[in-house]
Structure 1
């Protein structure tokens, strides 16, 4: 039976380099792909163009990457890992012992740091756009966001143990998406970067403060119900 559904291109690398020379070729391919993407954009990027710029034959590239989408997938995973590594610099359990202003400053710093990490990466903004614009690559972005959401939900569950788990997870998921969308907007529009970061940070911090207040209320309620010790 024939089907109209097109087969999705593979995003997996064919093999991982085992020797130094192969590793250097692998990294060279990715470096050139990122620069080419920055130069020509998503639509014009091709494996032939990468091969030409990297002075490689197509078989040398196809040994590792079956198509341009596999290249973009690897670049996307690396960029998102670079972005995600910024989280631990700004968000920690001790942060929630402070004030709302402390939360706002940390979140503002995270947004600006994530923006800087993307800006400093070769082709960073185009890699980020590809993760949203190219349907086959969207799972790369969503998988990364789900991972961060899970980690941040676990953190919040430790510091806000009486807050509903589902509400913590929803807050974290929205915050992750909001920060990512904010960084995209800062590249797409001429805006006051610091002002945008402060505004978004204030919005997220406000929700976190509400969660903290409800958690404290739940803790007091549970304490009142606890049986007195003899």
Structure 2
């Protein structure tokens, strides 16, 4: 794994923020767009702020006005990708969906998994971003934050669907489901020879079993 180099304490106190002025926003978005292109073409090792500046037609001081280093770029790209993935999941997660009979729920989970997988592949540098945030230990917090947030949101829907279920069990089951789904998606990116349909069916069986454990 690639270690993110430590920053001076003065830098650690700063946060990357989205600029408010239109021109600054355009520059900010252009930097991220080019960073995604470079990441997709050259990988994590080939992504450098100098190359991003050259491609974007910007000077390094302009980039550093918004991002400390390439890891800041990856952090924002990672958040955006996972936000897009999470929106798909939360559009699917309703009490009615979760209360479906096991077979129907399994088909629904399989379709959801395929949708998130396709979104990630179609997203600019989506697969490369997924790999990058996993490869840099200091960025694991981005993934963990997203997974915990989604598990909590899904737990709320599950609790509404199955009010008699113990809250601690609901929280544990939803966290397991989220972890399984994202781990399997990452596996498919790393091992493209794996059959997507069979992997999705395996996930569907896991989720159906977890939900069955919550039913009255």
TM-score normalized with structure 2 length: 0.91
1:120 to 108, 119, 122: 122
Contact 1:131/1:138 (CA < 8 Å) preserved in 2?
Answer: yes
> Are residue 108 (structure 1) and residue 110 (structure 2) matched?
yes
Contact 2:98/2:211 (<8 A) preserved: no
Q: Which runs of 5+ in 1 are unaligned?
A: 217-230
Please, which of 208, 211, 214 is the counterpart of residue 211 of structure 1? 214
Specify the SS of the correspondent of 1:71. Answer: helix
Q: Structure 1 residue aligned with 2:50, among 48, 51, 57?
A: 48
CA positional deviation for 1:129: 1.2
1:192 and 2:195 are equivalent in the alignment: yes
Q: Secondary structure at the match of 1:162?
A: coil
Secondary structure in structure 1 of the residue aligned to 2:214? helix
Deviation, structure 1 residue 6? 4.5
Quote the residue 1:12 is aligned against: 15
Q: 1:75 aligns with which of 66, 77, 96?
A: 77
Alignment of 1:19-58 (within 5 A): 19-58=21-60
SS of equivalent residue, structure 1 residue 64:
coil
Question: Which secondary structure state, in structure 1, belongs to the residue aligned with residue 78 of structure 2?
Answer: helix
1:66-114 deviations in whole A, cap 9, x for unaligned? Answer: 1111100000000000110111332211113320012111211121111
Q: Which one has a bigger Cα radius of gyration? A: 1
Per-residue CA deviations over 1:34-66 (Å, capped at 9, x if unaligned) read: 010011111221111100111110011111111
Matching residue of 1:219: none
Contiguous gaps of at least 5 residues in structure 2 = none
* Conserved 8 A contact 1:28-1:54: yes
Aligned partner of residue 18 in structure 2, secondary structure: coil
SS at match of 2:118: helix
Does structure 2 conserve the Cα–Cα contact (< 8 Å) formed by 1:145 and 1:176?
yes
